Structure 1
Amino acid sequence: MTITLALSIALIVALAVLAATAAAVLARVDGATFPIALKAAATVFAATITLACATTAALASVLR
């Protein structure tokens, strides 16, 4: 159970980092400055983690 949880958390964080990297690259390609690209990346990272937490909470309440 603990290994599954750790792997799930690692997968979610890796997916969030990948999405944030893609957002930063797209912002830079669009002509944004480096600080603006970092802000976009941070926003996407936080949104991905928040969505994962909300989904986990919803599934936990349904499966109990």
Structure 2
Amino acid sequence: MTVAVVLLSITVILLVALLSAVGAGMLARIDGATWPTACTRAAGAFAAVLALAAAVTAALSPFFT
């Protein structure tokens, strides 16, 4: 894999994680949660997307070595 593909995939993963965090925070806030609770839910969603991306990368890495 070239460096450009790796950097592009990292950028896409971070963008998806950020968008899911914003969505989770907005939904929590619309639901009536306080700001700290909404931020906590957004952080949880961000971490979950990054953990899922890491798990998929670890699972697929033997096929690209």
TM range (shorter): over 0.9
Q: Which residue of 2 aligns with 1:45?
A: 46
**Identity within the alignment, %:** 46
Q: Which residue of 1 aligns with 2:11?
A: 10
Q: TM-score, normalised by structure 2?
A: 0.94
**1:23 offset after TM fit, Å?**
0.1
Structure 1 distance, partners of 2:36, 2:4, is 37
Paired residues, number: 63
Q: Which residue of 1 aligns with 2:29?
A: 28
**1:34 offset after TM fit, Å?**
0.3
Supply the AA of the counterpart residue of 1:43.
G
Structure 1 distance, partners of 2:5, 2:31, is 39
